[in-house]
Amino acid sequence: DGGAAGEDGAVDAGADGTRAGRDRPPEPPPVDGRLVYPDGSPAGGVLLHLAIGRAVEVRVFRNGEYTDQTVHLVTAHQVTTTDAEGSFRFAGAAGPARERRFVYTANDPQAFAVEELRQVVSARRRATVTGRLVDREGKPLPDYWFEGRFGDPEDWQTRIRREEDLFVAATGDLRVDTLARNDTRTRADGTFSLRLAEGRNTLVFGEVRAEGSVDVEVRAPATELGEIRVPGAKLADEGRTLAGRVLTLAGLPHAGCEVLAWDGSVGLPTHATETDEAGAFAFEGLRSHEVILWAVPTERRHIDLPIQTTATLRMPSPAPITLQAPSEEEYAWARVEIPGFYLFVRPGVFASGDALDRTDVVGLPPGPLRIHLVTDRILEATVDLREPGDIVLHDSLFRDTTRD
């Protein structure tokens, strides 16, 4: 009858109380495939990941604009290494309803791949790229940070309207780099070296001294680009001042709130300060024609609001800037009961998330929130936070939508 009889003739039960082997769903078959380079040669010895999950379409707020983003809620994740022929095998695993399956590399030194799972998956070789950066006058750019991204400048400009896809599992962001990015700083003489995927790439420049992008063709195993003149607008001859203030959600002065500024830059902020008792702040020595501001109200883990940032400001700014950021007293400080990745979505406004454990507390701003919780399942809840204070995101709030 499919069960295993003991010495007394009884049939063993499975862990879920069913008769062993009878009502238990069959194990999914293993997944086999092959990873190859564009010329058809095998991509052997590549560390390859499999992510199985459901895609959720959200919108995020970046630099004053709302952009679309796809977040993959991953309930199963595996890793394997391709053999000399590029072949791979993953163990059988079930996914949620409306599942999508992706294979990808994560900082593999020799190959780059991000594709939906199929029998033959394409990879790109990684190559060492060298060159020398100079400014508009032909002078070397020493100690200059920039990055390379797979794709051409038109692809990169399109990405401004759409954020890079995000893959998250119970333990956090899976760090899937869909753009094969790699950043570096130039040496004292402006020379550089970085690793990029073969094919068309975009070098993206965004620091104060020069900005813009340049497309380059990368060939494996190594490509020498020679001298690259970095595009960029001429900076102001003298530093400018930008003043503003930060208010709480109640409209009161927000004292002691950190304010960050990006003076025509990407990556880390170029300036930081704190508001005074009147909620006022000021930055001096700004030289770029574009500045972005961000108010950071607390060092505790929290969810941001779009009103905490400016759109990209054109400089010089004719009037003081006003930002709003919740005070610590205006957040609902939520403790979680179920460990996993929590994605917080305010419909049509923003999305943010983090891997949280039972000991973690996160600040949630007032208003409606839809919460997607990823463990080995997908759970969902809708809450409307009307009052600040301490709350608990307990398991009874969530509905299991894994098979919906």
Distance CA 256, CA 277 (A): 7
Pick 28 or 20 by higher pLDDT: 28
The single-letter code of the amino acid at 364 is: L
User: According to the model, what pLDDT value does residue 374 have?
Assistant: 97
pLDDT over threshold 50, residue 17? no
Q: What percent of the chain has pLDDT over 90?
A: 66
- State pLDDT tens for residues 155-212: 666 665 678 899 999 999 999 998 898 999 999 999 999 999 999 999 988 765 566 7
- Of 19-33, 140-154, 254-268, 351-365, give the lowest mean pLDDT range: 19-33
The values of phi and psi at residue 366, to 5°, are -65, 155
Q: Which of 145-154, 201-210, 269-278 is predicted with the least confidence, judged by mean pLDDT? A: 201-210
Predicted pLDDT at 16: 40
Residue 35's pLDDT band (cuts 50, 70, 90): very high
Are 305 and 276 contacting, i.e. CB atoms less than 8 angstroms apart? Answer: no
CA distances from 104 to 47, 179, 242, 355 (A): 9, 12, 44, 21
d(CA 158, CA 161) in angstroms, rounded, equals 6
The model's confidence at residue 345, banded by pLDDT at 50, 70 and 90, is very high
Work out the widest C-alpha separation in the chain, in whole angstroms.
Answer: 93
Residue 153 has pLDDT above 60, yes or no: yes
Q: How far apart are the first and last CA of the chain?
A: 33
With the CA atoms of 341, 343, 344 and 347 taken in that order, what torsion angle do they form, in degrees rounded to the nearest 10?
-160
Output the pTM of the full model.
0.85
Span of 23-27, 142-146, 314-318 with lowest mean pLDDT: 23-27
Q: What is the model's pLDDT at position 368?
A: 93
Residue 266 has pLDDT above 80, yes or no: no
Highest mean pLDDT, choosing among 10-19, 185-194, 230-239: 185-194
Least confident of 56-60, 74-78, 141-145, 205-209: 205-209
The mean per-residue pLDDT over the stretch 52-58 comes to: 95
| Concatenated DSSP letters of 128-175 | EEEEEEE-TTS-B-TT-EEEEEES-HHHHHHHHTBPPPEEEETTEE--
Q: Quickly list H helices, 31-89.
A: none
Per residue in 313-339, pLDDT (tens digit) is: 888 988 899 999 999 999 999 999 999
Least confident of 241-250, 251-260, 348-357: 348-357
Average pLDDT, the chain: 88
Q: What is the pLDDT of residues 286-302, one digit of tens each?
A: 988 889 999 999 999 99
Q: Flag whether pLDDT at 354 surpasses 70.
A: yes
Find, among 313, 268, 322, 256, the residue nearest to 286 by Cα: 313
